[in-house]
Amino acid sequence: MAKERQNDQIGGGIAQNKISKVVFYSDYTIAKKRVSAIRLYEELVQLLVFRQPLSTKEIRSELYSPKDNLLRALKSLVQLDLVRKISFETHTLYVLNGEYNSLIKTTLGL
């Protein structure tokens, strides 16, 4: 009986099923935020799917959006790890994170 209890617990006495629920909920919450951001910034994400890397100047010329709105959208997508910001010398380019290509294409229906 003591052996069964030992198998159900990890480390300091935390049940394994409690840990897995917390990890699952955390992953689910982040995934939900990513899907919401993809839908919210759909035009920007679609542009990056078909043409990347792009600078903010190139994105603005394609989408005709105000600079503040564009920078806010890019910051949000970077924080969710959907977009990568690449800086070198005086240039800053944005590309999609390849780890989420299938999520992006499924969400956008591509």
Nearest residue to 58 (alpha-carbon basis) of 3, 16, 50: 50
Identify the CATH class of 15-108: mainly alpha
Least confident of 10-14, 26-30, 78-82: 10-14
**Which band of pLDDT confidence, cut at 50, 70 and 90, is reported for residue 15?**
low
In whole numbers, what is the pLDDT of the chain averaged over residues?
83
CA angle 93/86/84 to nearest 5° reads 95
Residue 11, SS3 per DSSP: coil
Q: What is the domain partition of the chain in residue ranges? A: 15-108
How far apart are the C-alpha atoms of 29 and 57, rounded to whole Å? 32
- Mean pLDDT within 57-81: 93
pLDDT of residue 110: 76
